[in-house]
Amino acid sequence: MSSFWSNYIIILTVLNIVGCLWLIKWASKKRKGEASEGEVTGHVWDGNLEELNNPMPRWWLWLFYITIIFSAFYLWLYPGLGNVEGAFKWTQVGQYEDEVAQADKQYGPLFAKYAATPITELAKDKKAKAIGQRLFLTYCSTCHGSDAKGAPGFPNLADKDWLYGGSPESIKESILNGRSGVMPAMGAALGGDKGIDEVVSYVQSLSGRKTDAAETKAGKAKFEMMCAACHQKSGEGNTTLGAANLTDTIWLYGGSAGAIKKVITEGRNGQMPAHKNFLGEDKSHLLAAYVYSLSQ
């Protein structure tokens, strides 16, 4: 936080505390001409309903003062005044790291034990899969869904179609180091709508759909020239690059003509975040075993 914003927070916080103290003092002060305690203030409703001057109880007033004292004491112990650390030097990051260290100390040996077992064997171990599932639900279900069947733009992990390969090693690599997939925008390179529609027609034909023969033929020539470098001439994709297989009926962003055209025209950027520094090697190993089991 910059010194300007730190000072801004400090001034604003202190002024609020002082302002509350002044307001309490001002509200509890007896004013000239004010009725004495227990006397009628002069306000009358419904003929005989009179308001008496009954100030708040002293214990209630002191509660306000105690809260102000507590706030000052709290701000001395903990950070709350901009960049001032506080006497305890507490930070949420430090508390998180302490909790992680305690959890690693308690559960680390368990994960280490599983890390020594091959992923293919863990995928058959019910207890290991149950732990892996809990890791998945905590860290992966937001994108891939609680059933791991994904959503538009997020791969289905429960089938046998893999962008980067479905071997235990490939899955673990994806979890540890993440993936960054790029489908460049090809609209201009294909010569506009006509060229795009031709390639769309050919791509649809790769998965067995009926298309216009002449358009498909023209699209094939363009595909082999502009797209085969990543998706291969056959359209079966390339797991080294994360290029999708276009010959099946599984589509990451949808398989309609409009969805395919949008991908070709505008391109796509897919990002799978790396979890190595967050989960560590052992937990990632167990998580990979669970993900691997889903497609077996």
Same domain, 213 and 261: yes
Return per-residue pLDDT of the chain as tens, 296 residues: 789 999 999 999 999 999 999 999 888 877 776 667 777 777 778 777 888 777 778 898 899 999 999 999 999 999 999 999 999 999 999 999 999 899 889 989 999 999 999 999 999 999 999 999 999 999 999 999 999 999 999 999 999 999 999 999 999 999 999 999 999 999 999 999 999 999 999 999 999 999 999 999 999 999 999 999 999 999 999 999 999 999 999 999 999 999 999 999 999 999 999 999 989 999 999 999 999 999 99
Same domain, 237 and 170: no
Same domain, 110 and 174: yes
Same domain, 164 and 192: no
What is the CATH classification number for the domain harbouring 161?
1.10.760.10
Q: Which domain holds residue 44?
A: 3-77
Structure tokens at 229: 């470098």
Domain assignment of residue 211, yes or no: yes
Nearest CA-CA partner of 164 in 235, 245, 274: 245
Report how many domains make up the chain.
Answer: 3
DSSP result, 76-111: HHS--STT---TT---HHHHHHHHHHHHHHHHHHHH
Same domain, 186 and 252: yes
Domain assignment of residue 93, yes or no: no
Domain assignment of residue 88, yes or no: no
Structure tokens at 284: 């990632």
Q: Which of 26, 46, 77 is where one domain is finished?
A: 77
Same domain, 195 and 222: yes
272 sits in which H/E element: strand 268-272
Same domain, 190 and 214: yes
Contact between 163 and 173 (Cβ < 8 Å): no
Taking every pair of Cα atoms in the chain, the longest distance, rounded to a whole number of angstroms, is 101
Domain assignment of residue 188, yes or no: yes
Beta bridge partners of 181: 270
